[in-house]
Chain A
Amino acid sequence: MRVKIFRIIIIILFLIILIDLFYVQVIKGKYFFHLSVNNRIRVVPLEGLRGEIMDRNGNVLAKNRKAYDVMVVPQEIKDKEKLFQYLSDTLRVEKSYLEKKYAQKKYTPFAPVAVAEDVTREEAIKLEENRYRFSSLLVVESFNRVYPSAEVGSHVIGYVGKMSRSSIDQFKEYGYSPASIVGKTGVEEYYDSYLKGSVGGLQVEVDSRGRQVRLLSLKEPDDGQNITLTIDNLVQDISYEVIEQKRGSIIVMDMNNGEVLGMVSSPSFDPNALVSLRDKSKAAVLFRNPHSPLLNRSISGAFPPGSVFKIPVAISALANKKINANTTFECVGHHELGGTRFGCAHIHGAQNLIEAIAHSCNIYFYRLGLILGESRIQQHAKLLGLGRLTHIDLPYEKEGLVPSRKQRFLKKKQRWFAGDTLNLSIGQGDVLSTPLQLVRMMATVARDGKEVQPHVIKAIGGRDVKKYQFERKVPINTNVFDDVKTGLRSTVASYSGTANVLSFDDMIVAGKTGTAQSAPGKEHHAWFVGYTKGTKKEVAFSIFLEYGGSSQNATLVARQLLVRLRQEGII
């Protein structure tokens, strides 16, 4: 009978298990018992080296420096008091601080816990000499991240730090451990998976004094990949230099392919201070600073664009064939609507579209706004990329906002009034945009509606990244842009233009100024967004000064920037 054979097979299987149980638990039992009590298996994680970050010319923006970490193996601590007292004396750190750190980081008895990181070479040698007294002590070589350009452009590069305990569960499957170093913002965060080396490790058998008896196995870690950015260090230096004393952001982008050459935000922070584990106080100061130096104003700050928003309004009016370049309105200095006066900076008199852009005449655009209605303005603003993410390869990008009747109702339960249309047509009210959105819009206008993808990545591990090298035709009639471009050019070229200070003999610059009302009682935001034509590299750029007063201030900064860039032969 088959059932009988079946029974025999089962009995044989059980016998095999039984014999193996006997073998492991009785014959080899002593050996395993020994392993579990006297001898220990210790796992020493080895991290691969994190990739370096370089600018487009090969200048290093982030690299690794050799450091020494002091580690303690929990299961081998004999006299905790004595050990920590000794460490505290040698490293000149509070004992309670070391103990707190130990308690926080301990997660398995056999995994070494780093109680002090980046100690000096002298301290490391001293500890190593005294190791015979404390078997649980380890001095391990590690690498620290260093950012040579410090404050300059730190928002783009970002910084690294220990993975937080709360996010470890989520990332465990992707090869992260509680000791992993991860990027926190900027390129360090966005491209973390490329920069990060893989984790390997040693499994060693150690004796009761912590000495290695034998190496059980080794898994070699792999180094991360180096990353090259489109950023030009020189552009960064210049940009930061001209904005350092102020608050705001500068972006310089190659308008023909979307490569971001420079992106700085001020006030800035020194990533080295955040990475340094010795001096936590510096980091705390950064986090508490009311001027929020950690905020990348270029992409994570959304501000009212002010008169820069007149560009999409003009485009909308032309595209809808409501006006042509010669349509003229009379500016008397103010516009009455429902008993409220909407003002203009000057009494401009009769203005055509070109003059209205050059002089940034509010009255002209109030009229356009009323002719168009808010939905058409909104439509073209969106087409030009406002109120939409640019999808630049940096984390924490803000979307901005182009207000509409529906959005206003859903958000605030308020109706839309004609006055709101007036505010919208000069970029006031609820409309918000990031500096990067405006730069991209300017590039799109300058290139007759061909939109590029802003990006900062050039190559990963030596291979060029092609992903962002594409352009998209914005569905707006091409010849609409000519009149707007004439207006933008005469903003600079005309003697009465608002950005006349930017007219150079040897370089064609065009653009639009903006003075946006900020919070009540505070200075206005100052904008200048423009582009250069026919230069070595045609760039679109933005100067944004948060609470910077009149747009004149922004144009002056722009002048400094362009002059320096020209001197250095970049544009």
Chain B
Amino acid sequence: MRRDLVFKIWVYTILIIAIGLIALYSASYSNVRVSQKIFYDQLVCAAIGLVIMYFLGKVDYRRYYDIAYIFYIFNILLLLLVLLKGRHALGATRWIELGPISFQPSELTKLGAILMLGRYFSNRRPNLSFNFLSKAQMVWRDILIPFGLTLFSCFLIFKQPDLGTALLVLGIFCGMLFVSGIEYKYLFSIFGLFIAMLPIGWKFLKEYQKDRLLVFLNPNIDPLGTGYTIIQSKIAMGSGQLFGKGWLAGSQNQLNFLPERHTDFIFSVIGEEWGLIGTVFVLFCYFQLIYYSLHIASQVKDRFGMFVTIGVVTILTLQVVINIGMVMGLFPVVGLTLPFVSYGRSSFMIFIIMMGFLLNLSKRRKVF
């Protein structure tokens, strides 16, 4: 059973990465706009990533517990640094340069938040109250402290501005809070708070973010900009039909109809060239990965391990569902990548680290 789980995580991770590389090859195939370089870039990234994943599988996951808070503080410092002097690209400041490497600290925050919340929630001892505090106060403290911590980094990411990742980190918080077994009345108060905050949040949005959200409601508002992307991406998806147009034969893709098709919209390339068969298979792979991760979470005795796994599952689910939904026009375009498939080194490596964690956890859970 133990070997079996490890094997499955390996298989589905590699399958997804391979599908991503195939799609990326097609998206950059003899093309002026997207250079072939990104394919080789991702190929190297994948090779290095798998090696790292192998070694992380051997690292005791309890080490993560020790560094969780320090890591989170370090991450917040990086986020501040980005805001002060980050590299500018596509109207946002998200990158930081360390010598030859440039990466996005906001990607690191996903991991940082999971570890921090994992440690915090696993330390909760709701039954050990000596009535110094009322139960309600106790619970509020347990919610509000991690909530404040999460919100702070969300705010920093939001300032970059990167609305998608900021909401994603909030999503991680919600997912882990839900599983922490908190009573529903508190849970729903938190959700109510979110909904109440929406109109206030709207005021803080940049003009283009508002545009995107409005365009989502009606793509025809901006037929040349974001709306165009949504319309074209839907055409690409739909025209794939059941069996697809074949590899390197998607006209929407090859004829440059699809903008951002190597990053956020890579799924529409898969949809066009491999049809429903391809998209369902990709969805299946993700589902399997998530399903077996949840399996680990439900069996593991260690609370920290359980919470972190839930965090990983949450983020995987959210990114997959939101990204695919975005490509199909079900969600607004918020700029979230498809894990392991979209081009982007920071995002790729973060998911590799998460898989490494799961590998180790699945090996060791019998210890308890």
Contact = CB atoms under 8 A, between A and B. Distances in A.
B29 interface: no
A321 interface: no
B325 interface: yes
Given A14-B283, A35-B235, A110-B257, A6 B175 contact: yes
CB-based closest 6 A-B pairs: A32-B238, A203-B223, A29-B241, A36-B239, A217-B220, A217-B223
A556 B133 CA distance: 97
B310 interface: yes
Given A3-B310, A6-B310, A108 B256 contact: yes
Contacts of B251: 36-37
A31 B231 CA distance: 13
Interface in B244-284: 251-252, 255-257, 271, 275-276, 279-280, 283
Interface residues of B, number: 51
Interface of B: 90-91, 175, 178-181, 220-224, 227-228, 231-232, 234-242, 251-252, 255-257, 271, 275-276, 279-280, 283, 286-287, 290-291, 294, 297-298, 310, 313, 317, 321, 324-325, 328, 330
A263 B168 CA distance: 59
Given A3-B310, A17-B283, A37-B251, A30 B228 contact: no
Contacts of B236: 36
Contacts of B178: 2, 5-6
B276 A2 contact: no
17 contacts: A2-B178, A2-B179, A2-B181, A3-B297, A6-B313, A10-B294, A21-B237, A21-B276, A22-B276, A25-B275, A25-B279, A29-B241, A36-B251, A45-B224, A108-B256, A203-B220, A219-B223
B234 A21 contact: no
A32 B239 contact: yes
Nearest to A5: B178
Contacts of B330: 16-17, 20
A21 B328 contact: yes
A209 interface: no
Nearest to A109: B255
* B interface majority secondary structure: helix
A178 interface: no
Contact of B223 (A21, A25, A43): A43
A1 interface: yes
A35 B241 CA distance: 12
Contact of B237 (A3, A25, A45, A110): A25
B324 A29 contact: no
Contact of A75 (B175, B223, B255): B255
Contacts of B232: 41
Nearest to A201: B224
Given A3-B179, A21-B279, A30 B241 contact: yes
Given A32-B238, A203-B224, 4 more contacts: A14-B283, A17-B328, A21-B271, A37-B239
A28 interface: yes
B231 A29 contact: no
Contacts of B242: 25-26, 29
B241 A36 contact: no
Contacts of A219: 221-224
A563 to B, nearest CB: 56
Contact of B328 (A13, A14, A24, A45): A24
Contacts of A10: 290, 294, 313, 317
Interface string A67-107: 00000000100000000000000000000000000000000
A390 to B, nearest CB: 31
Contact of A25 (B238, B255, B286): B238
A295 B223 CA distance: 42
Please indicate which of the listed interface residues B239, B257, B287 has the most CB atoms of chain A within 10 Å of its own CB: B239
B235 A36 contact: yes
B241 A17 contact: no
A216 B220 contact: yes
A361 B223 CA distance: 72
Contacts of B175: 6
A7 interface: yes
Contact of B238 (A4, A14, A31): A31
B244 to A, nearest CB: 9
Contacts of B237: 21, 24-25, 32
Nearest to A74: B255
Contacts of B257: 108-110
A25 B241 contact: yes
Nearest to B219: A217
Contacts of A370: none
A420 B182 CA distance: 86
Contacts of A200: 224
B303 to A, nearest CB: 12
Contacts of A13: 317, 321
B214 to A, nearest CB: 13
Nearest to B255: A109
A33 interface: yes
B114 to A, nearest CB: 15
Please indicate which of the listed interface residues A25, A36, A202 has the most CB atoms of chain B within 10 Å of its own CB: A25
B325 A33 contact: no
A125 interface: no
A41 to B, nearest CB: 7
Given A20-B330, A26-B242, A32 B234 contact: yes
Nearest to B180: A2
A26 to B, nearest CB: 6
Contact of B241 (A6, A26, A110): A26
Contacts of B91: 173
Contact of A41 (B231, B238, B290, B297): B231
Contacts of A21: 237, 271, 276, 279-280, 283, 324, 328
Nearest to B276: A25
Contacts of A202: 223
Interface in A109-132: 109-110
A109 B256 contact: yes
Interface string A52-70: 0000000000000000000
Contacts of B238: 24-25, 28-29, 31-33, 35-36
A29 B252 CA distance: 14
Contact of B298 (A3, A20, A201): A3
A18 interface: yes
A173 B290 CA distance: 38
B239 A35 contact: yes
Nearest to B175: A6
A20 B324 CA distance: 10
Contacts of B179: 2-3, 6
Please indicate which of the listed interface residues A24, A173, A218, A219 has the most CB atoms of chain B within 10 Å of its own CB: A24
Please indicate which of the listed interface residues A14, A22, A202 has the most CB atoms of chain B within 10 Å of its own CB: A14
B313 A18 contact: no
A32 B271 CA distance: 12
Contacts of A25: 237-238, 240-242, 271, 275-276, 279
Contacts of A109: 255-257
Contacts of B290: 10
Contacts of B317: 10, 13
B280 A33 contact: no
Contacts of A199: 224
A24 B298 CA distance: 35
A25 B224 CA distance: 24
A173 B88 CA distance: 12
Contact of A33 (B231, B239, B310): B239
Contacts of A41: 231-232, 235
Please indicate which of the listed interface residues A3, A109, A218 has the most CB atoms of chain B within 10 Å of its own CB: A3
Contacts of A37: 239, 251
A44 to B, nearest CB: 10
A33 B283 CA distance: 22
